[in-house]
Amino acid sequence: MAKELYLVTSRYDENEETFLERVNTACANGVTFVQLREKDLTTRAYYELAIKVKKITDRYHLPLIIDDRIDICLAIDASGAHIGDDELPVDVARKLLGPNKILGVSAKTVARAVEAEQQGADYLGTGAMFPTQTKVITKPTSKQTLKEITKTVDIPVFAIGGIKEHNINTLTDTNIVGVAVVSEIMQAPNIADKVKQLKEAISLL
Ligand code: TZP
């Protein structure tokens, strides 16, 4: 089955127009999932940005997931929300979202993965698999743990964290559904080419 390429956003220091153009280019060239993940915005600014990003993802019929903010997911009728370790408990998030929204959960241990699945997660993000500048991590998740997670749960698992075109080939035999990427796409000098190259790399997994 074709692997998923999950774009997770970061605005870096760009103006909004450039940011939206980058997201649009990534969507036009083959990402299959989009997560709006912006940690430094007020509620109102996050909400307004989410509406603009949803216009783009709707244009390409792509699911839009909102990081950490179930209220904003519901307010703009996004496809779902993603919650990390320090955010709401998974069962609470599921209750708030209802049965029809996608719930993604970060899980870097087998125990967390099992608990998330039992409590209603639809997919998992596991990592960081490699060192990354995008998030403070204590130590990368091992390929062994990733494999154990995919073996243990029935829901799809994305690898995330430090994923680059050149290291995707080390994720063979892990049974991941795809990869989730921030900087490799958002900071690429040519986003269209980068997305196509990443698609090629994940197709070989
Ligand atoms: N969760 C685990 S690592 C990470 C997140 C959101 C950041 C991934 O960013 P990048 O730039 O793809 O390494």
In this predicted model, which residue has the larger pLDDT, 145 or 13?
A: 145
Instruction: Extract the tokens encoding 151.
Output: 């073996």
Residue of minimum CA distance from atom 8 in ligand 1: 161
Instruction: Extract the tokens encoding 145.
Output: 């743990």
**Contact in structure between 35 and 6 (CB atoms under 8 Å):** yes
- How many CA atoms are closer than 13 Å to the CA of 157, on its beta-carbon side? 30
**Long-range CB contacts (within 8 A, 24+) of 167-170:** 167/130, 168/198, 168/201, 168/202, 168/204, 168/205, 169/201, 169/204, 169/205, 170/143
Taking the C-alpha atoms of residue 198 and residue 146, their distance in angstroms, rounded to an integer, is 20
Q: What tens digit of pLDDT does each residue of 22-45 get?
A: 999 999 999 999 999 999 999 999
* Largest pairwise CA distance in the chain: 43
**Contact in structure between 123 and 104 (CB atoms under 8 Å):** yes
187 is in an annotated binding site: no
Q: What tens digit of pLDDT does each residue of 152-168 get?
A: 999 999 999 999 999 99
Percent of the chain having pLDDT more than 70? 100
Residue type, 141: T
- How many CA atoms are closer than 13 Å to the CA of 143, on its beta-carbon side? 10
Note if the bond before 128 is cis, omega within 30 degrees. Answer: yes
**Contact in structure between 156 and 177 (CB atoms under 8 Å):** yes
Distance from the alpha carbon of residue 44 to the mean position of ligand 1, in angstroms: 24
Taking the C-alpha atoms of residue 203 and residue 58, their distance in angstroms, rounded to an integer, is 25
Ligand 1 cavity residues, CB under 6 Å: 8, 127-128, 132, 134-135, 160-163, 181-184
Residue of minimum CA distance from atom 13 in ligand 1: 162
Q: Is the pTM of this model over 0.95?
A: yes
- Is the pLDDT at 13 greater than 90? The verdict is no
